[in-house]
Amino acid sequence: MSGAMIFIKEDLKINDIQVEVLAGILNLCALVGSGAAGRTSDWIGRRYTIVLASAIFLVGAVLMGYAPTYAILMTGRCIAGFGVGFALLIAPVYSAEISSPSTRGFLTSLPELCISLGILLGYISNYFFAKLSLKLGWRMMLGVAGIPSLALGFGILKMPESPRWLVMQGRLGEAKKVLLRVSNTKEEAEYRLQDIKIAAGINEFCNDDIVKLPKKTGQGVWKELILRPSPSVRWILLAALGIHFFEHATGIEAVVLYSPRIFKKAGVTSKNKLLLATVGVGLTKTLCILVATFMLDKVGRRRLLLTSTGGMMVALTILGFSLTMVEHSTEKLVWALSLSIVATYTFVVFFSIGLGPITWVYSCEIFPLKLRAQGASLGVAMNRLMNATVSMSFLSLSKAITIGGSFFLFAGMSVLAWFFFYFCCPETKGRSLEEMEIIFSRKSPNSMDVVEGSSSSVDHIELPNSVVLAR
């Protein structure tokens, strides 16, 4: 959409307000989609929820690729947004639930990496489709998204169902088979199954293939999550909502979606050069997230979060200063133009090595088993709400307080984010999903930093507390 908007505005003769609505409506619809996805994934399973998301994506892409009018384009964008809500919830939840503690950070960050790769491919395809006629070019930019949605829908059918969802359905035999496929050893699979059974309220020594659970999946979730949460669940919910809030409140959507306008403000005027500069943003974001996926299970979530947010503060301050100098100068300030471009790329680098991928890893791994899908859906709803707020208001905000002032505002939000992460987000590296309530029941997040070498690995499997006590 970033590159397509340049041509949509010219072809359909729409104004800036309509451009903002078109950009942001996807996220408002994603908010609704994420709310529906939590309950849906508890009902039909994680895997078939991904199939459903793919079907919704396909319909949205076809409508946007056809779009003879602004109204039909908006309809397609809304449908695609609904699919985005489903996918943003279920992809990291599914990844977290099939992963072992030693590789969960890497595997759960892959959806964010692939989102960035998709954005990069979108930027590159925009560059080539821009050479087509005005009416055909932007429609191809949006319609081509139907191809990967088909690949996802058929590909996920070859993947196993989440073992934790299977246990919540009482299907222990199937869950054990899946765990044997996704664990490093048979012993690790058995220990993981025992942990999951304890979390689901099933006797850990029960070896039946099918058991009847006292409550249906999803029953009483909202009461335990919102109405009467325990102290640890309340802290978990605060951490999940907070990290999703700050991911977009610090301005990444303004940079990704409106980077052509930022570069234009910095003196890049050619459409081809604008698209190439935007490709550079996508490439930088993808490469840095790729690096982050390998660091998450070694460095830890908390350390990367604080480093990332600190770098974002500096980059946003420099970007705000340089754009302000450009805007208030009567002459062409080459140093300020160059500095604003460097600051934009620096911001993307720091965002992508920490806050970007960790938001999804962290918010999907900290909720207890019974509350995970619905809790994660609240996080995604907050994420989409903030995404929509920034994407739909950035142009108006930059006119009201100048584009430089907008980035000073985002820098201020980064300062608040750093303090929030420091005081409210304990380390989760190397801990099993079933241990998260224990971590969040402690008073100080600093006291929960995992000791180096304590994380699970192929040679070291962290046993459930009950097994340790028994031995």
Asked if 39 and 90 touch (Cβ cutoff 8 Å), the reply is no
How much is the pLDDT for 418?
97
Compute the distance between CA of residue 309 and CA of residue 349 in angstroms, rounded to an integer: 11
Judged against a pLDDT cut of 60, whether residue 445 lies above it is answered with no
Compute the distance between CA of residue 134 and CA of residue 140 in angstroms, rounded to an integer: 10
* pTM score of the predicted model: 0.73
Pull the structure tokens for residue 22. 């078109």
Could you write out the DSSP letters of every residue in 165-230? HHHHTTBHHHHHHHHHHHSSSHHHHHHHHHHHHHHTT--TT---SB---SS-TTTTHHIIIIIS--
**Which tops the pLDDT comparison, 310 or 332?**
310
Confidence of residue 373 (pLDDT cuts 50, 70, 90): confident
Tell me the pLDDT tens digit for each residue of 149-163: 899 888 988 899 999
Q: In Å, how far are 299, 421, 437 from 384, measured between CA atoms?
A: 28, 20, 26
Q: What is the largest CA-CA distance in the chain?
A: 78
Confidence of residue 471 (pLDDT cuts 50, 70, 90): very low
- Give φ, ψ of 409 to 5 degrees: -65, -45
Confidence of residue 176 (pLDDT cuts 50, 70, 90): very high
How much is the pLDDT for 389?
86
Confidence of residue 196 (pLDDT cuts 50, 70, 90): confident
Q: In Å, how far are 222, 347, 456 from 219, measured between CA atoms?
A: 8, 43, 32
> Which of 8-12, 220-224, 262-266, 432-436 tops mean pLDDT?
8-12
Region for residue 102 given its phi and psi (left: phi exceeds 0; alpha: psi -120 to 50; beta: otherwise): alpha
What single-letter DSSP state applies at residue 449? Answer: P
| Domain segments of the chain as ranges | 1-159, 163-200, 230-442
Tell me the pLDDT tens digit for each residue of 353-362: 999 889 988 9
Exposed/middle/buried for residue 259 (C-beta within 10 Å: 0-12, 13-18, 19+): buried
Compute the distance between CA of residue 450 and CA of residue 468 in angstroms, rounded to an integer: 19
Q: Which residues contact 442 (CB under 8 A, 6 or more apart)?
A: 426, 448
Q: Which residues contact 64 (CB under 8 A, 6 or more apart)?
A: 73, 76, 77, 80, 139, 142, 143, 145
What single-letter DSSP state applies at residue 442? Answer: S
Instruction: Specify which residues 210 forms β-bridges with.
Output: 171
Q: How far is CA 400 from the centre of its chain?
A: 30
- In the chain, the N- to C-terminal Cα span, in Å, equals 58
How much is the pLDDT for 267?
67
How much is the pLDDT for 247?
93
Could you write out the DSSP letters of every residue in 101-169? TTTHHHHHHHHHHHHHHHHHHHHHHHHHHTTS-HHHHHHHHHHTTHHHHHHHHHHGGGSPPPHHHHHHT
Confidence of residue 126 (pLDDT cuts 50, 70, 90): confident
Compute the distance between CA of residue 122 and CA of residue 64 in angstroms, rounded to an integer: 14
Compute the distance between CA of residue 81 and CA of residue 86 in angstroms, rounded to an integer: 9
Compute the distance between CA of residue 101 and CA of residue 433 in angstroms, rounded to an integer: 8
What's the whole-number mean pLDDT along residues 196-225? 76
Domain 1-159 and domain 230-442 have a common topology: yes
* Radius of gyration from C-alpha coordinates of the chain: 23
Compute the distance between CA of residue 243 and CA of residue 238 in angstroms, rounded to an integer: 9
**For domain 230-442, is the CATH number 1.20.1250.20?**
yes
What's the whole-number mean pLDDT along residues 221-235? 85
Its CATH architecture, for the domain 1-159, is Up-down Bundle (1.20)
Dihedral angle over CA of 65, 66, 71, 75, nearest 10: -60
How much is the pLDDT for 468?
39
Asked if 142 and 61 touch (Cβ cutoff 8 Å), the reply is yes
Pull the structure tokens for residue 347. 């911001």
Tell me the pLDDT tens digit for each residue of 384-410: 888 888 877 888 888 899 888 999 999
How much is the pLDDT for 451?
39
Tell me the pLDDT tens digit for each residue of 32-90: 888 888 889 888 999 999 999 999 999 999 999 998 899 999 999 999 999 988 988 88
